Amino acid sequence: MNQQNSAYDVIVIGLGGMGSAAAYHLAARGQRVLGLERFTPAHDKGSSHGGSRIIRQSYFEDPAYVPLLLRAYELWEALARESGRDVYRLTGGLFLGPPDCVTVAGSLRASRQWGLAHQVLDAREIRSRFPNFTPNDGDVALYEAKAGFARPELTVAAHLALAENAGATLQFGEKVLEWAETAGGVTVRTGQGAYTAGQLMICPGAWAPQLLADFGVPITIERQVLYWLDPVRGTSSFTDHPIFIDENDSGMQIYGFPAIDGPRGGVKVAFFRKGVECTPETIDRTVYPHEIGEMRERVGQLLPDLDGPCLHSATCMYSNTPDQHFVIARHPECTHVIVACGFSGHGFKFVPVVGEILADLAIDGATDHPISLFDPSRLVTT
């Protein structure tokens, strides 16, 4: 039975990747935490599922992310140790394409700026070291040994378990209907009760447009598709294999993983940022034959052995800001409310450090982490 009108230090709305991490870091630092989630723990309705997410440090999106990634890696290791779960694995990573493409040139820029260990390989060296790949003759790759993947469902489950062990109250199947700031904090109303707290933390994922309708930050929700292809000669050559991101001459990126789910688990691949605008209520969860055919054709150009049947597929949602950078800040009009949203398809690798940042903002009022890039004022239109 839910407790009504009970007071907490912080209420966290949304217990996906970011919210589960925030709940844990807050509770571990002595805060009385209530976490509210409309679905089940580690659900597959939003953006924190699909079996794997790439982690990397040579960040082509912007070198400003690298300090956060260095801390995130420390926290990934701590999470694995404290939870006893295989939440991440380092496999090495190849970032391929023409030398001047964003994937290669951006990764090289970040690596050089921050002194990250890396190697640059030409097409012949790529084929020699990683014979599954057949890059174009003019293509190159940056190889990063510290790249790998995180397990999103395991990560969310680990943070939730640690949060509960630290004293957090976590309630599932409880949709938030409205929230309001009061003189002394916040009130949150759900279908099961009303709750008060000193502060509110909103980690809404794809539900940002509804829960933050008055926030003033434009966020577009996009349907994305994930595919698990069956290699034509089996998964054995893909088990000890790097994660990869490949960009072709037209700028279209694809990404993929090793075979991490056994001989019949296939190899997961996907297009990056090839989505269709949707809402959580209107997303089409059906994956169509023409989509599978397009994925097989594109990835088969780079990895011919992956031009095999699609074992299964899934959909997820990106929550995109106009500049594809995150939003992490106090609500500009509600001093007791902290918002983390708009992770734009590349946020999951930051989950542990975002949890730490959100706890800093709630407890200390500020953070030492560099987050000026995520100030929502850059996006608010007047």
Closest residue by Cα to residue 127 from 248, 303, 249: 303
Specify the pLDDT at position 3.
Answer: 39
Mean pLDDT of 153-160: 98
More confident residue, 178 or 2: 178
**What pLDDT shows up at residue 382?**
52
Within a 10 A sphere around the Cβ of 7, how many other Cβ atoms? Answer: 13
**Average pLDDT in the 110-139 region?**
98
List C-alpha distances in Å: 218 to 65, 180, 379, 380: 22, 21, 7, 8
In sequence order, what are the residues at sequence separation of 6 or more whose Cβ sits closer than 8 angstroms to the Cβ of residue 45? 39, 280
The pLDDT of residue 242? 98
% of the chain surpassing 70 pLDDT = 98
* Geometric angle at alpha carbon 127, from 123 and 130, rounded to 5°: 125
Q: What is the pLDDT, as a whole number, of residue 2?
A: 37
- What pLDDT does 1 receive? 28
In this prediction, residue 273 carries a pLDDT of 86
Of residues 2 and 210, the one with the higher pLDDT is 210
Q: Is the dihedral of CA 230, 102, 352, 378 positive or negative?
A: negative
- The pLDDT-based confidence of 381 (bands split at 50, 70, 90) is low
pLDDT band (50, 70, 90) for residue 78: very high
User: DSSP alpha helices (H): ranges in the chain?
Assistant: 17-28, 66-83, 107-114, 123-129, 152-165, 208-211, 289-302, 351-363
Nearest CA-CA partner of 257 in 240, 237, 271, 242: 242
What 3-state class would DSSP assign to 370?
coil
- Residue-averaged pLDDT of the chain: 95
3-state secondary structure of 227: strand
Residue 148's nearest CA partner among 91, 107, 103 is: 91
- The pLDDT, as a whole number, for residue 162 is 98
- How large is the average pLDDT for residues 305-316? 95
Residue 360, burial from CB neighbour count under 10 angstroms (0-12, 13-18, 19+)? middle
Q: What would the mean pLDDT of 306-332 be, rounded to a whole number? A: 95
pTM > 0.85? yes
What's the pLDDT tens digit per position in 321-377?
A: 999 999 999 998 999 999 999 999 999 999 999 999 999 999 999 999 999 999 999
Query: What's the confidence (pLDDT) of residue 4?
Result: 43
Residue among 162, 186, 161 at smallest CA distance from 10: 186
Residue 304 above 50 pLDDT? yes
If you average pLDDT over residues 247-256, what whole number do you get?
96
Among 23-27, 224-228, 274-278, 300-304, the least confident range: 274-278
> Cβ distance 1 to 332 under 8 Å?
no
| pLDDT score recorded for residue 5 | 44
Proportion of the chain in helix, strand, coil states, percent, rounded to 5: 30, 30, 40
Q: What percent of the chain has pLDDT over 90?
A: 93
User: Helix 152-165 vs helix 351-363: angle between axes, to the nearest 10 degrees?
Assistant: 30
Residue given tokens 């992770």 in the structure block: 343
Per-residue HEC secondary structure of 27-56 comes to: HHCCCCEEEEECCCCCCCCCCCCCCCEEEC
Using the predicted structure, report yes or no on whether residue 157 has a pLDDT greater than 80: yes
The model's pLDDT over 218-229, given as tens digits with 9 standing for 90+, comes to 999 999 999 999
Residue 295, pLDDT > 60, answer: yes
